[in-house]
Copies of this chain bind each other. A is one copy, B any other.
Amino acid sequence: MSSHRFAVNVTPKPGILDPQGRAVEGSLGHLGIEGVSAVRVGRRVELTVEAADGAGARAVVERLAGELLANPLIETYAIESIGGASSTVGAAAGEG
């Protein structure tokens, strides 16, 4: 058994109304921020899976994503393997 950390990125399907994204876009003017468009707000779920191997762990995450984390009618998801307990995604990370 080994431990695997994953992230599931859930985003609204193209064409599906995204009120949170519209709200962010509506706030940009108040902040004086220009040039930002196509804002989509989704969820990011990070979790640890104990499984015999990586393939088995990913299968558990696939099932969890399809049955619990995403609404297949209006959302899509992407599964991402992240190293250890903290994300190693992207080139730079900012602490908020």
Contacts and interface: CB of A to CB of B under 8 A. Distances in A.
B94 A62 contact: yes
A90 B79 CA distance: 7
Interface residues of A, number: 58
Nearest to A69: B24
A83 interface: no
A35 B51 contact: yes
Interface in A1-30: 5, 7, 9-11, 21, 24, 27-28
B85 A38 contact: yes
Contacts of A42: 43-46
A92 B37 contact: no
B79 A94 contact: yes
